[in-house]
Structure 1
C-alpha cells in the first residue's frame, strides 16, 4: 500500500477519506479505492497483475488562476514486456504513459527511459467568485506476474505562466518535456518567443500550440498541432494575437532522442537499444524570453522608407536631365556644337575614310578595295531612324554571306590597330534589330520563368501555414515580420528597389533612345558618323533583368530553401552576362553575340548551378568535369575574342581537322617563332582573364565550396569587374576622358558595392545546413527595427546595380563628338 497521505483541504477530501475507510472495512483491495495523495510527497510502492494503486490529489483553484500540476514517475525495471502503466484522470481528460517510455529513431533504434515527468493539462480559470475544488486521480498498474517497484511525485507548478520581457530558465529531456502558458497583455498584438541554450545538442523542438487538451509534448506527436521549429542553440517564433481567439497559448519544449534532425551525430549502434549512458546525456538547459514584436506603425514607416528612398533616385534623375537640357540649349544658342576635325555643315552621306597610323596598315584596305562596302553602307546613313523596325529590312545574313563582304571583313578585322569604323560597317537598322531581340527574348523568358515560380512559392507558403512546420523555410526568425499569409514580409519589401530602379533605368534609356531617333530623323552628323553607335536593345534587356531580379528575389524570400535557391540567382547570372556583352558591344557592334546564343549560354550556366547544388557537395567527378568545362570554355572564348571571330579551326577534309589546326597554331605562333603577340592589349586581358578563371576552377576542384550558386556568381562578377577595369584603363590610355556623370557613377558604384558586399557576407541563414543549424546564424533587425542585414543588402545591391548600368550607359559620352575612324577598338 502507498505511504501515509498528508491531509488535504476541503469537503471533497473529507468525503474521499470516508469512502476509503468504508471500503477498507468491507475488505476491499488496495486498488479498489483511491488513496489520498499529498503534493510534494514521494510515494513508493510495487504493483503486479493482481495489485494496482490509485492516488487522489485534491486542491483548491482560486478564481482567475491557472493551476498546473506535474507528475514525476520512476521505475527501476527495464523489462519491456511488463512495463508499469500510469493513467492520470482529470475532469476533462485522461493522460497515460508507460515506464520504460520508448522512443524510436533512425534504423529502428529504440530509446528507453526509466524516469518520466509530464505536465498535466491545467485547469481553466473559472469566472466564479468563490474557490472551486479540483481532484486528480493517478492509477499505477502492471500486467507483470511479479512485483515491480515504482516512485511517484506530484507537484503544483508555481512558474507555469510566462511573463513578457522576463527570462525563464528550465531543464528538459526526451522523457521529461516542458510546456508553459502565455497570455497576451492588453496592449500587445504580436510577440516573439526567443529560446536560447548554451549547448547545441541535444536537438530540441519548440512548439506553439493553442489551449487544447491533451497537449502534444512528446517526440512522436509534437508536430501534430500548432507551429514548431527544431533547435540547437537558438530559436525564435513570431506569434500574433489574431491567430489565437483565446488570446493565450502554450509554449512546448521537447527534447529529441537523437540529434540527426538537427545535423548532429547518432549513436554508433545501428540496431537494438541504445545504452543508458546515452539517455542520461539527453538533458538540455533552456532559457525562454517573450518580447513584444513591432507595432503596425513600424510597418507603415518601413514601407514609406522603402518607396521614398528609391523615389529620390527618380527626383535626382529629373534634376540631372533638366540640367543637361539647359546646358545643351546654351551650347546650341552659342553655336559651339561643331564636330571634332570637321564643320557642322558636313553632309552625313560623306563616307568616313579609313585612317590608320603609319606603320600599322597590316590588312588595311584602300578606297578602291572598299568602295563596294562603302556604297553599301551609305544608304544606311541616309535611312530614316524609324526604319529599323521595318519588316522589309534585309536580314543580317544577307550581308555576311556575300563573298566580297566576307573577304572585306576578314581583311579589316586582322589589322593591328582597329578603329570603330572597322567594326561598325553593317546597316545600323539590321544591327539595331539584332539587339532588340535581346529585349523581346528576356521578356518572354521572364514571363515563362516567373509564373511557375510564383505558383510554387505560394504553395510553399500555404504548406507552412497549414502544417505549422517552420523548418521548411530558412528565414532570419529573429527579424521575420509577418503580414497576412506572408511569414517574412520585410524580406519581400526590401526587393522593391530592384523593381523601381529597373523601371527608372528603362525610362532613362527610353529618353536617350527617343533623342537618338530624333537626331536620326534630322540627319544629325553626330548621330551618323560620330561617337559610339547607339543600340539600346541590350540596355532595355538589362533594365528588365534588374526588375525581374527583384521579382524573383521576392519570390525566393517567400520561402527560402534548398529547392528554390535558383530563383534568387538566375537573373543575377543574366545581369552579369548582359553587362559583359554590352561592354563588348560598345566597340564591337558588328561581331557581338546574338541573343539566341547568349541566352542559350545563360541556360547552360543555370543548369550547371542546379547540378552543382545537387551533386557538388560530395561528388568529386562533378567538380572534375565542371573544372574541365570551365577551363576549356575560357580558352574557346579567349580565342574568339582574340581573333575577332575570324579564327576558323574546322577542316572539311579531315575528321581531326579541328585539333590539328589548333595544334598547328600553337606550334607556329608559340613555339616555332615565339614572336610578340600581334594584338598585345587583347593578349594581356585574355592572359589575366584565363589566370583568374583557372584559379577559380582549381579552387573549386580543391575546396569544393558548398554554396555552388554563389561560387558561379562570383566567377561572373570577377570576370565582369576584370573586363570593366581593362576597358577603363584602355580608355584612359587612348587619351579619352571620363566626364563628370560617368565619373560620379563609377565612384558611387564602387562605394555602394563595397557597402552592399559587407552586408551580403553577414550570413543570417543557410539552406545548405539543417534548419536548426541555420537558425544559429539568425540576428535581430538593424534598420528601423524592421529590416535585417540581408534586407540592407537588397537595398544597396539594387542601387549598386543601377549605378553600374549608368556607368555602361554614360561611359563613352565623351566620344559623341569624335569621328568613328578615330575611336580605337580594344
Structure 2
C-alpha cells in the first residue's frame, strides 16, 4: 500500500541521510500508535521509521497532529523528520530555525504540525503514513515524538473554538459550507496584542502552507493582533470547503511591535522567548442577497426623498404671491441706483486706479461700490470656475480609477489583505469589490450634488428671465446673482462622492488624498462664494483660486510622503502657513489696494508710526480687523499645534485648517448680517438649524475610527466593528450618508441666506 513516490522518497532518505554516499545505515521500523509518547535517540548511523495507520471516513474529517520535542541541550544537533502520506510529504527539522527581519534566526525545539488529509472517494478506508527520523550528527540526540488525533478539526457554524499556537506550532482547521450558505465570515480573536499572528484562508489541498515563511504563498491572508476577519465565498472554493490557518510570526514588527536587536554575528541564534498565543475562531454565515437589495434600496430611498422634498418645496414657493418692492426702492430708476457708471466705460482712463482707491478704501462700503463691473463679464468670469473644475475632475478621476482598479486586482490575485484598510467585520464583497457597502454609501454625494446643480440651474433660469424682462429687482436689488461658483460647488460635491468611492475600493495611506482633494476644493469654493456675495468685482479669478488649491493639494502629498515625524518639513510648512495667513489678511483688509514690492517694509513701518505711535488711532475697518485678528489667532494656533504634535495624518490636519477657516468666516458673515439689520428668512433658517444638527451627528460617526492607515494593518483591525445599520452599513457608511446631507444643506444655506435682500437696493446693502 506504499505508493511508488513514497518508496522513492524512502530510498533517497535511507541512502542520502547518512554522512557519505554508500555508507550503510541501520534502519529500524516500528509499528506506532496514536496518543503514545515515544522517547528515542537518533544518530547518523541509525534511522527510525514509525508506521501509523488510521481509518478515514468520507463523512467525517479528523486531523492528525505530530508533536516533536528536543532537549535545549541538543540544539546544535539537527534532526530531520519526514512524514510520508498517501498524497503528500511533510518534512521539518528540529530545532526548527525560523528567520525574521534582516535574516535574524530563531531556534525552536518544540514543533507541532498538523498533517493535511487527502480526500477519499470511498466511504471508509484505512490509510497509512510513516514518520522517518534521521540526523547527520554522530552523537546521539534524544527526542520525543507523539502523534494524536485532532477531534475538533472541523469547525462548526457559529460555534467558537479556542486553541493555542506558536511560530513552531501553527494550527489549521477545516470548514465545510453548509447547504444554503454561500458566504461566511471567519473571525479570529485573541485577548493578547502580541505576539503578532497571521490568519489565512486556503483551499483544501496538500501541502498546507502553515509557517511564517510560506503562509503568504496561497489563499487570502492578513496579519492580526487582537482581531482578524475574512469574508469567504463558496464560489472561490470548488470543494465547498477551506482551511482556516493561524500562524504566529517570529517577530512583531509587522503588527507594530518593537524591533529586536541586530545580531552581532550573522549565524547568531536569538532566543525568541515565549511566543505562545491563545486564540479563538468562529465562522458565521454572512449576509444574503436580500440584505444587499435592502441596503441598496435604503440608500436610494434616502436620497430620492430629497428630490421629492425639493419638488414639494418648489411647488409651495411657486404658489405664493410675488414679493413686493420695498418702499425705499419705489420710483428709483436703474441709473439712480448705480453708484457710478459701469467699469467697462472707464477702464482705459488714466484715473481708473485712483478711482478704485477712492471707492474701495471708504470706511463704509456698500455692495453697489463693489458691483460696478458689467454683469456679462462677471458671469463669464465665474462660469470659468465650473468649466475648470469639470476639466480638473476628468483628468483627476481617470488615473485614480485606473489606480484603484489595479489595487483591487492585486488584492484579489495575491490574497494579501494587508494592502487595504477595510472594516473587515463589516466589509461586504460584490463581484471584484471587497467592501461594496463602503462604496455604495458614497452615492449620496453624487445624487445630492446633482440635485444641487438642478436647483442652481432653476434659479439661474428664473434670474435670466427676470433680466430679459428688465425686472428692477433683478437689475438693481439684492446680492448680485452669479451662479458659476455654485455650479462648481455642486460638481465638486459629486466628484467628492466619486473619489471617496474610489478611495474605499482600497483605502490606504498612499491614496488617502483621493478622498480629501475635493474636500479642499469644497472648502475653498465655499469661502470664495461667501466673499463673492459682498465683493463680486474683486473676488479671485478661477485660475488664481485653483492654483492656490493645487498648492494645497501639493502640500498634502508632501505631508503624506515626508511629513511623518520630519521636523524640517513641519518648520517649512508652518512658516509658509503663517506667511500665507498674513498676506491674505492684508489682501482682505485693504480690499486688494496694496502692492507687494521692495517698499512694503517701509510702508508698514510708516503706518505703524503714524497710526499706532504718533496718533494711537484705532483701525479704520474695525469689523474686518476683528475677523482677521481672530483668523490669525486660529491659524497661528493650528500652525503651532502642527509644529509641536506633528500629526501623522497630515491630510486630515490640512483639511481641519480649511474647515476651521470656513466656519470662522461663516460665523462672521452671519453675525455681521444680523448686525447690519438684515434678517434670515424661514427657509435658510431651517436649513441652518437642520444642517447644524446633521453635522453634529455626522462628526460623531466620523470620529468612531473603524480603521486607520496611520498604524499597521493589524493595529487598524483592532478598531473594526460589526455593522450597525441593516446588517449592511457600518459607522463610516453612516458618516457618508450624514456628511453628504450636511454638505447639501450647507450649500443650500449659501444659496438662500441672502434671499431677504432681493428687494433691497444695493447701495443700502453693507459690505463686510
Structure-1-length-normalised TM-score: 0.88
Q: Kindly report the root-mean-square deviation, in angstroms, between the aligned alpha carbons of the 2 structures.
A: 1.9
Aligned to 1:405: 352
The 8 Å contact of residues 173 and 254 in structure 1, kept in 2 or not, is answered as: yes
Residue from 81, 85, 99 that aligns with 1:90: 85
**Residue 657 of structure 1: CA displacement?**
2.1
Aligned to 2:7: none
Give the Cα–Cα distance (whole angstroms) in 2 for the partners of residues 285 and 272 of structure 1.
33
Give the Cα–Cα distance (whole angstroms) in 1 for the partners of residues 284 and 145 of structure 2.
36
Aligned to 1:215: 208
1:529 aligns with 2:476: yes
**Residue 604 of structure 1: CA displacement?**
0.7
Give the Cα–Cα distance (whole angstroms) in 2 for the partners of residues 643 and 216 of structure 1.
71
Give the Cα–Cα distance (whole angstroms) in 2 for the partners of residues 605 and 797 of structure 1.
22
Distance 1:274 1:710, change over 3 A: farther
The 8 Å contact of residues 64 and 125 in structure 1, kept in 2 or not, is answered as: no
1:798 aligns with 2:740: yes
Q: Secondary structure at the match of 2:402?
A: helix
The 8 Å contact of residues 64 and 126 in structure 1, kept in 2 or not, is answered as: no
Q: Secondary structure at the match of 2:133?
A: strand
Aligned to 1:505: 452
Q: Cα deviations across residues 619-670 of structure 1 (Å, max 9, x unaligned)? A: 11111111111111111101100000002243xxxxx423333333333333
Aligned to 1:34: 29
Residue from 128, 139, 159 that aligns with 1:135: 128
1:166 aligns with 2:159: yes
The 8 Å contact of residues 191 and 291 in structure 1, kept in 2 or not, is answered as: yes
Give the Cα–Cα distance (whole angstroms) in 2 for the partners of residues 426 and 79 of structure 1.
93
Q: Cα deviations across residues 501-534 of structure 1 (Å, max 9, x unaligned)? A: 0000000000000001101110110011111110
Give the Cα–Cα distance (whole angstroms) in 2 for the partners of residues 710 and 84 of structure 1.
55
The 8 Å contact of residues 112 and 273 in structure 1, kept in 2 or not, is answered as: no
The 8 Å contact of residues 386 and 488 in structure 2, kept in 1 or not, is answered as: yes
Alignment of 1:631-670 (within 5 A): 631-650=578-597, 656-670=598-612
Aligned to 1:361: none
Aligned residue-pair number = 747
Q: Cα deviations across residues 758-777 of structure 1 (Å, max 9, x unaligned)? A: 00000011111100000001
Residue from 137, 141, 149 that aligns with 1:144: 137
Distance 1:649 1:400, change over 3 A: farther
The 8 Å contact of residues 67 and 123 in structure 1, kept in 2 or not, is answered as: no
1:599 aligns with 2:546: yes
Distance 1:151 1:451, change over 3 A: same
Give the Cα–Cα distance (whole angstroms) in 2 for the partners of residues 217 and 318 of structure 1.
61
1:696 aligns with 2:674: no
Aligned to 2:4: none
1:205 aligns with 2:205: no
Residue from 764, 781, 794 that aligns with 2:723: 781
Aligned to 1:108: 103
Give the Cα–Cα distance (whole angstroms) in 2 for the partners of residues 63 and 625 of structure 1.
69
Give the Cα–Cα distance (whole angstroms) in 2 for the partners of residues 275 and 285 of structure 1.
29
Aligned to 1:26: none
Residue from 564, 569, 587 that aligns with 2:511: 564
Give the Cα–Cα distance (whole angstroms) in 1 for the partners of residues 706 and 613 of structure 2.
53
Residue from 674, 689, 712 that aligns with 1:747: 689
Aligned to 1:337: 324
Q: Secondary structure at the match of 1:633?
A: helix
1:770 aligns with 2:697: no
The 8 Å contact of residues 105 and 270 in structure 2, kept in 1 or not, is answered as: no
Give the Cα–Cα distance (whole angstroms) in 1 for the partners of residues 349 and 175 of structure 2.
82
Aligned to 1:255: 248
Unaligned runs of 5+ in 2: 2-23
The 8 Å contact of residues 52 and 141 in structure 1, kept in 2 or not, is answered as: yes
The 8 Å contact of residues 74 and 141 in structure 2, kept in 1 or not, is answered as: no
Give the Cα–Cα distance (whole angstroms) in 1 for the partners of residues 95 and 374 of structure 2.
87
Q: Cα deviations across residues 576-632 of structure 1 (Å, max 9, x unaligned)? A: 000000000000000001101100110111111111122222111111111111111
Aligned to 2:534: 587
1:52 aligns with 2:39: no
**Residue 267 of structure 1: CA displacement?**
2.2
Give the Cα–Cα distance (whole angstroms) in 1 for the partners of residues 313 and 267 of structure 2.
73
Aligned to 1:608: 555
Aligned to 2:415: 468
**Residue 150 of structure 1: CA displacement?**
1.2
1:240 aligns with 2:233: yes
Structure 1 stretch 253-262 or stretch 264-273: which is displaced more? 264-273
Aligned to 1:423: 370
Distance 1:598 1:487, change over 3 A: same
Residue from 322, 325, 331 that aligns with 2:318: 325
Unaligned runs of 5+ in 1: 1-9, 11-28, 355-372, 378-395, 651-655
The 8 Å contact of residues 27 and 46 in structure 2, kept in 1 or not, is answered as: no
Alignment of 1:336-375 (within 5 A): 337-343=324-330, 347-348=333-334, 350-352=335-337, 354=339, 373-374=340-341
**Residue 702 of structure 1: CA displacement?**
1.1
**Residue 33 of structure 1: CA displacement?**
5.2
Q: Secondary structure at the match of 2:272?
A: helix
Distance 1:125 1:440, change over 3 A: same
The 8 Å contact of residues 107 and 270 in structure 2, kept in 1 or not, is answered as: no
**Residue 46 of structure 1: CA displacement?**
1.2
Alignment of 1:674-689 (within 5 A): 674-689=616-631
The 8 Å contact of residues 339 and 526 in structure 1, kept in 2 or not, is answered as: no
Aligned to 2:171: 178
Q: Secondary structure at the match of 1:34?
A: strand
Structure 1 stretch 111-120 or stretch 398-407: which is displaced more? 398-407
Give the Cα–Cα distance (whole angstroms) in 2 for the partners of residues 744 and 405 of structure 1.
44
Distance 1:575 1:254, change over 3 A: same
Distance 1:282 1:274, change over 3 A: farther
Q: Cα deviations across residues 714-735 of structure 1 (Å, max 9, x unaligned)? A: 1111111111111111111111
Structure 1 stretch 277-286 or stretch 432-441: which is displaced more? 277-286
Aligned to 1:520: 467
Q: Cα deviations across residues 101-157 of structure 1 (Å, max 9, x unaligned)? A: 1111122210011111100011424343xx311111000000112211111100011
